[in-house]
Amino acid sequence: MDAALLEAVRSGDRRALSRAISEVERGDAIGDIAPSDRLIGITGPPGAGKSTLISALIGALRERGETVAVLAVDPSSPLTGGALLGDRIRMQSHIDDDGVYIRSMAARGHLGGLAPATRGAASLISESGFDRVVVETVGVGQSEVEIMGLAAVVVLVVGPGWGDQVQADKAGIVEIADVFVVNKGDRPSVSEVKRALQEAADARDAKVIVTTATKGEGVDELLAEVDRLLG
């Protein structure tokens, strides 16, 4: 990658950052730059409300005066191969905030919950001076655990009705979580899902937190736990 472009990224130039990420998606190398060692990963099955929860976390962090960058890995469009941009739409209330940067990235058929260029893109974002870097995986299954190798803290988000799947997924994404979140806490079966997750959480000395992201409930507790784990 061109040294001048990389220097512009480090200076905080958002256009340069977007251009650099596009170059990484096309296959350009960025040398020995590494992702932040405080990167937060948000993972979980489709429909759990990950993007809504991230939007609520952005709001809480901005209230504290922190800048936030989100890299959202989306399913690929069957027509264009590009990201479907669903996550960016759900976070649209933050798009005009200069303290927030949101970038969608197509999974391009890659298994593991991330995209081939996610690590490089996360490294560039980490170089650009944001206080917080969040990576949201595409809706994941049992074996899609790549986020574990990228994030310092992995937050697993599930929704009501997921309790029956906990045992089936015990050898997969349940085992990589540092924090467990049951979102949509105002719906039935939340207590059942929380109980189902507790054994896996206890095995990892992790907390199970109930949130209702649409109302901001439980978000401060989640952020406090992430802060604690990051030290």
CATH T-level topology, domain 34-230: Rossmann fold (3.40.50)
Q: What is the mean pLDDT of residues 87-115?
A: 75
| Sheet of 100-106, strands arranged across | 100-106, 68-74, 132-136, 40-43, 153-158, 179-182, 207-210
**Mean pLDDT rounded to a whole number for the chain:** 85
| 176-192 pLDDT per residue, tens | 889 999 999 998 888 88
pLDDT tens for 133-161 read 999 988 765 556 788 899 999 999 998 87
Using CA atoms, how far apart are residues 114 and 184, in angstroms rounded to an integer? 24
Query: For 71-97, what is the mean pLDDT?
Result: 62
Q: Are 37 and 43 in contact (CB under 8 A)?
A: no
**Domain coordinates in residue numbering, the chain:** 34-230
Q: What is the pTM of this model?
A: 0.89
Please give the structure tokens belonging to residue 117: 């260029």
The answer to whether 94 and 86 have CB atoms below 8 angstroms apart is no
- Residue 79 has a pLDDT of 39
pLDDT in tens, 197-218: 888 888 889 999 999 999 999 9
Q: What is the largest CA-CA distance in the chain?
A: 54
Average pLDDT over residues 75-83: 45
Q: From CA 212, how far away is CA 187, in angstroms rounded? A: 9
